[in-house]
Amino acid sequence: MNILTLTNTFTPHVGGVARSVEAFAAEYRRRGHRVLVVAPEFPGMPEREVDVVRINAIRNFNDTGFSVALPIHPPLGDRVDAFGPDIVHAHHPFLLGITALRIARHRRLPLVFTHHTLYEQYTHYLPGDSPALKRFAIELATRYANLADQVFAPSESIRELLRQRGVTAPVAVVPTGVRPEHFAAGDGPGFRRRAGIPEGACVVGHLGRLAPEKNLEFLAAAVAEFMRGDSSAHFLVVGTGPCEDGIRDLFARAGIAERLHIAGVLERGQLADALHAMDVFAFASTSETQGMVLTEAMAAGLPVVALDAPGAREVVQDTVNGRLLTEATPAAFGAALRWVAERTAEQRQALRQATLATADAFSMPRTAGRALACYEALVAGPRPDAGSDAIRWEDVRTFLRTEWEILKSVARASDAALNTNLYADAEAP
């Protein structure tokens, strides 16, 4: 099968969507499928990439680290024609997501859309953030989903949310899988030595982009509260982002700055070492659709303390493989960290076995299998013959209809955001 996937974020950008696209593509190729990834240019991208088309883009848009693909890229059509896709997969409802819709409609191919992101949680990156902009983001994603032949939700919570928001297209739960073998072993003691963490310390860990939507102010306050009650505890953070200075300031004010360790972005081997240097993984984000880092942490045998939110509640089982908290206070979070720290050796082993079982249930071969089954069902559906004059005239109609669908979707999303009714009765000519 030839799988064309279009994404607004890809390596070397650090983020969940980029990692998801890369992981699925690798697994599909391992199984003998061909994958062509269409993505914007990013600073530091590899000079030579196989089966990747880079689109001209505005880099580091609004100081976010993201790239914004420009709408015109003439060579793309030739590359797509040469590739001969069987299916088109969009990972965003805008920018290259619109391109994906056009390609799918023009070539009469099934369109799959993964709703990776709660976009209303990210509008602070845009000028003019407002409640109306948040409503627009929700409406645009919802209406785009209903233009797709199949929607992937990364978790059951998100599938239910999409149904509540009015998505009527078929929705399948397809989380991004983890490679347990990548995290099963690591030199934790060596990493501790290099970071200046004592051998017997209780290490709370966190991995991810240090961004405001990750609820890091709360997390830092909760971990600091726990550490004030445990003089041996340290906090190891893997990642970088705009919240780093705020975390450092909070720990400095608490008088425990020397027990905070921010390691920056780590590659796979170093990342495994860092995870094995931790005793418990702390996660407070409520903006996730899945939270891949949770299954990665569990693949390293780490119990997770997390707030009860979409993504986390499908992974964390309270008192089984960690703690899942309905009370979102630093005191409750600190108490949960203390609960993990006080487990006996036997109880810790039981937690570890449960985390490894969870990671196995979310393994990439399992989740990629779900996605491929959906692809195969869509591709097996009826496909029109492109040879007749009638079909060629239908091509023109399809193009016009697609452009109208795009304009109408954006217009109606704007209507909903602004509480107007300007386009409610608009129909294609």
DSSP string, 196-212: T--TT--EEEEES---G
Claim to verify: residue 388 and residue 257 sit in the same structural domain: no
Residue 424 lies in a domain: no
Residues 20 and 143 in one domain: yes
Residue 425 lies in a domain: no
Q: Note whether 226 and 204 are same-domain residues.
A: yes
For residues 149 and 92, membership in a common domain is answered with: yes
Tell me, what's the pLDDT at 361?
Answer: 94
Cβ proximity of 95 and 186 under 8 Å: no
Residues 191 and 326 in one domain: yes
**423 domain residue, yes or no:** no
| Residue-level pLDDT at 123 | 65
Query: What b/e sequence results for 24-56 when a residue is b if at least 16 CB atoms lie within 10 Å of its CB, and e otherwise?
Result: bbebbeeeebbbbbbbbebeebeeeeeebbbbe
Is the same domain home to 297 and 331? yes
Q: Is the confidence at residue 312, as pLDDT, over 60?
A: yes
**47-51 average pLDDT score:** 88
Are 395 and 246 contained in the same domain? no
Q: What is the pLDDT of residue 12?
A: 79
The CATH number of whichever domain residue 98 belongs to comes to 3.40.50.2000
Domain that holds residue 245: 180-362
Does residue 143 belong to any structural domain of this protein? yes
Q: Which of 362, 378, 406 is the last residue of a domain?
A: 362
Residue-level pLDDT at 128: 64
Residue 209 and residue 332 share a domain: yes
Q: What is the mean pLDDT of the chain?
A: 86
Does residue 332 sit within a domain? yes
Spatial separation of the C-alpha atoms in residues 122 and 66, rounded to whole Å: 12
What does the alpha-carbon distance between residue 148 and residue 103 come to, in Å, rounded to a whole number? 12
**Number of folded domains that form the chain:** 2
For the whole prediction, is pTM greater than 0.85?
no
Q: What is the pLDDT of residues 381-421, one digit of tens each?
A: 875 554 444 444 454 455 445 555 655 565 566 556 556 55
Q: Is the pLDDT of residue 358 over 60?
A: yes
Cα distances from 2 to residues 21, 114, 185, 253, 354, in angstroms, run 15, 18, 34, 55, 37
pLDDT of residue 20: 92
Average pLDDT over residues 200-210: 94
Q: What is the mean pLDDT of residues 362-377?
A: 96
Q: What is the pLDDT of residues 85-144, one digit of tens each?
A: 999 999 999 889 989 998 999 899 999 999 998 777 666 666 666 777 788 888 888 999
Retrieve residue 99's tokens. 């391109």
Q: Among residues 106, 105, 87, 107, which one has the least CA distance to residue 24?
A: 87
Lowest mean pLDDT among 45-59, 264-278, 380-394: 380-394
- Residue 196 banded pLDDT, cuts 50, 70, 90: very high
Is 427 part of a structural domain of the chain?
Answer: no
pLDDT for the residue 60: 47
Give the pLDDT confidence score for residue 264 in this predicted structure: 94
* Residues 6+ away with beta carbon under 8 Å from 308: 324, 325, 326
Tell me the H-state helices in 146-239. 156-165, 180-183, 188-195, 216-228
Domain boundary among 321, 341, 362: 362
Are residue 165 and residue 88 in the same domain, yes or no? yes
Beta strands in 311-379 (DSSP E): 322-325
Q: How many Cβ atoms from other residues are within 10 Å of residue 68's Cβ?
A: 18
C-alpha separations of 3 from 25, 46, 290 in Å:
9, 22, 23
3-state helix, strand, coil in the chain (%, to 5): 45, 15, 40
Q: Which band of pLDDT confidence, cut at 50, 70 and 90, is reported for residue 428?
A: very low
Contacts of 327 (CB under 8 A, 6+ apart): none
Whether residues 219 and 84 fall in one domain: no
In a domain, 147, yes or no: yes
Question: In the predicted model, what is the mean pLDDT of residues 39-60?
Answer: 80
pLDDT tens figures, 87-104? 999 999 988 998 999 899
Does 128 share its domain with 249?
no
Give the pair of three-digit tokens for residue 273: 């070492």
User: Does residue 342 sit in the same domain as residue 377?
Assistant: no
